[in-house]
Structure 1
Amino acid sequence: MKRALTKNWGLKLLAFVFSVLLWIIVMNIEDPVDERTFSGIQVTVTHPEIVTNPGNTYQILDDSRTVSVTVKAKRSILNKIKTDDIRATADMKNLDVRTRSLIPIDISIPSYAGRFEATANPINLRVSIELGKSETFPITATSSGTPRDGYQVGELKANPEKIKISGPESVIDSIDKVVALVDVSGQSKDEEKEAELILYDNNGKIIDSTQIENNLGDEGLKVKITMLQTKSIPVEFDTSLIGTASGYHFSGISIQPESIQIVGTEEQLETVDSIEIPAEELAEDGLDQTIEKTVDIANYLPYWAKTDQDSAGGVPIVIKIQVEKFGTKTVEFPYNSIALLNAPKDYKVSYAEQGNLEIVVRGSKEDLDDFTLEKGNVSINLNDCKTAGTYNVPIQVTLPDGIELEDTINVQITLTKSSGGENDQ
C-alpha cells in the first residue's frame, strides 16, 4: 500500500500542480478581477481637533470634499458593492507638515475588508488653515414665491432675530448680510415657517456655508409671516362745486382708475366700502370746455391702508370733467374702432392720438338723450392716401335724423408699409 502511494510521486505532484493551475484559470474565467468607479463619495475629516483646538479653523478647497473612487475586485464582489458601502476619510493626523494643506484620502469598504483595492481621485483632501472667528449678525427675513390671489405679504420677522456664526476669519469677515428666506407660495394665513439661512458678501454673492457653524441648534431658523388681504375700492368724487359758463352745462366726470386696490387685514378691509373725495378737490367755476385734473387721494385713505400705486408721488387719480354746450353732447369713440374705407393694400394705419376720439354733436334734448355711436358709424376714407406718409383726413360720422356734427373733425394718420399683407390699426 505504502509503495503504491509513493510510486511515481513526481507524476502525482505534477498532476496536483496542474489541477491547482486549472482551478485558478477556471475561477479567473468565471469570476475575473474587474474595476469600477463610484462617484460622489463624501470625504469625512477625522481628528479635526488637531487643527481646531489651538483656535484655528479650516476650509476644504477645490470641491475636494467629494471624490471618485475606483475599486478593483473580483466581479462577484464588485457587483455587491454600493456607493453607500464606501468610506472616504482624511485624518488630520496625516496632514502634510510641509504644505499644511494636503491630507491623504483613505478608502475603506468595511463589509469587504481585504477583498479589494481602491484609489481615490483626487488622492488628497486640500484644506486651508487659518485663525477662527465668531461674530453675531442680525437676520433679515425675506420671501420667495407668490401668495394666493387676493393676498400680500405684510410683515416678515425672523426667529431668532440674531445669529452667532463661527468659522474661518476670512469667511466671517466677508459676510455682509444674513438672510432668512421663506417660501410664501400660495400663502393666505399668518404662520411661522421654517426658513433657509443664506449668507451674502458685499457683491451680493452667496457664501459657501458648509465650513462654518452657527448657534441655531435643533430648533433651526424660522420666519413669522403676517399676511394681508387686498380689496378693490371704488373712488367717489363730490361734484357739487363744479360750475360752468353761461350757455354750458356740466355733463359728468370720468375717473381713471375708477377703483384702487388697498391692502390691509381682513378686519380693516371690512370697514371700507368706498373712498370719498370732498367737493373742494374738483371745485371749478366758469368752465366752457372739458378739462382734466389729477388728484392725489393718498390723504383720503385710511391711515393703515397701502395701495399698489403707493409711491413718492402719492396715489394719483385722473378726472375728466366733461362740459358741453346746451343742445350738444360729447361722445367718446375709440380710435381703434374707426372703420377704414379704401385703405391701400399692404399698409398699416396708425393714429397720432391714442385712446378715444371726442365727437361733439348737437340736437334736441330728447334726441341727444338717446344718442349713441356704434361701431361702423365712424369712418375715414383713405382713397387719396396711396403711399407711406402722414395725412390729415376728415372723420365721417353716420348720424340719425335730428342729430348733426357740431364741428368738422380731422384726424392725423400715418401709413407705413406692412409685412402682414393686411391693413392694421
Structure 2
Amino acid sequence: MKGGFLRWLRESFSSLSLAFFLSVVVWVSAVLSSDPTLTRSLPQPIPLEIEGLNSDLTILDDLPNTVMITLRAPQSVWDRILIQPTLVHAWLDLSNLSEGEHEVEVKVRVGATPYHVVRVVPDQVNLRLEKVETKTVSVTLNVVGEPALGYQKGQLTLSPPQVQVSGAKSLVERVESVQGEMDINGAAESQRRAVKLNAFDENGMLVEGVKLIPDTVSVNQIITLLGGYRNVVVKVVTEGQLEEGYWLTNISVSPPNVVVFSTDPQLVDALPGYVETEAVDLSGLSDDVDLRVSLKLPAGVELAGEESVLVRLNIAALEGSLPITLPIDVIGLSSGLKAQLSPGQVDVLISGPVPVLKTVKASNLRVVVDLSGLMPGEYQLPPLVDLLPDSVKVASILPANISVVIVPVENGASTSTPGPTVSPNPNFILPKTPTPNLLPTATPPP
C-alpha cells in the first residue's frame, strides 16, 4: 500500500505543484488587489538630520535642511505615512569621519514596513569637516553720540571684559576683535544696557559662523553734570479764568525738566529744585492750546539750551443735562390711513457741553415716530429725537415706547392727528460726567 501511495505521489507531483503555484498566485493577487503597492513622492520635504558628528569637529559648509523622498510601498503603509509624516527619517551618518572633505550618502528609514526607497533628492552631500577651536578675545565697546548739553561721559565698565570665540579653526583664526556699540546721544543720566557683540577680522569685516560665549556684554556708562550745571523741574504758573462753562483738564510741559547754568556754581545750587514759567493767561480760553513760554530765572543763571518751554493746556466743556418735553410728529404714514398716538408727547433728557445746551431751544428739536410700511393695527414703537447738535446726546426718552393705533380714514375724515403742545423745561442739571445714552430699541408689532 505504501508503494502505491508513493507511485501515486510521483504520478501526481506535477499536478500538485501546479495547484500549489496557482493557489499562491491567487493569494498574492488577492493581497495586491486589497492592498496595492504604490510608488509616490512624499508630499512634503523631510528634515535632514546630522548624526555621529565628533564633538571635536564642525561642519564648514551650508547643508541642505531637507530632502525629497520617493517610496514604493503598499497602500496601508502610505496611509500610515500620510497620517504620521514623522515615520520617515533622513540623516547623514558622520560617524568615524575625520577632518577634511567627504561625500556622504543620505540615509532613509521608515517606521512602517514594507517599503523600498526609490529616490532621494539629493542622495549625497559634499561637506568639509574641520577641527573646533576656541580662543579668548577682549571686548571693545564703541560709544557713539554725545550726552545732553551740560553733561559729560565718565567711567565705562564692561562685564565680562572678555568672551570666548568658538568655531571652525579657519574662522576662529580670522577673528581679531569682538565689538559692540552703544549710542548715548542726548543722554542725561548714566546708561546701563546689554549690548550685542559681533566678531570682526583685521579689516573690520564681520566674521560669520563663529559662536561668542556670551554673545552680549553688560555695559555701564557713567554720565554726570558738568560743574556749574544743574537739572531742575519746570513748574507752570497760570493766571486768569477760562471762559464760563469750561474747565482745565490737564497741563503738560515739554521738556518737563531743563538744565540751567551759571559761572557761579553757588547760584544753581541755591535753586529750590525747580524753576517757574512766566504766568500763562487762561482768560477767555475755551479749547486746547499750545504755548511757548519763557522761564523766570534768577540773575546770573541761564538756560542751557532753548530759551523757552512748550506748555500744552487741555480744556474741555463742563457736561450737563437738560430735560425737555416735546410733541411727537408722525412720518412715513401711508395715504388713506390715520394714526392715533398715546401719549402724544414725551419727556426727553439730553446731555452735552453746558455752553451748547444753553443754545438748545425746544422749537429747534423734533421727536418723530416712523410708520413707514405699517398696515392698520396697534403697535408699540420707539420715538426718535431728530435735529440734535453734534455734541449733544439723548440720555433718555420717557416713555421709551408709545402706543400707535393705525386705522383707515373714513370718508370725509382728516388723516392728521392733533399735535401735542411743546412744554420745554429750561432748568439745567450739571453733573460732572454725562448721563449715559439710553436710546431705546424698537419693539416689534404684536
Instruction: Give the TM-score, by structure 2 length.
Output: 0.37
Larger Rg over CA atoms: 2
Instruction: Give the TM-score, by structure 1 length.
Output: 0.39
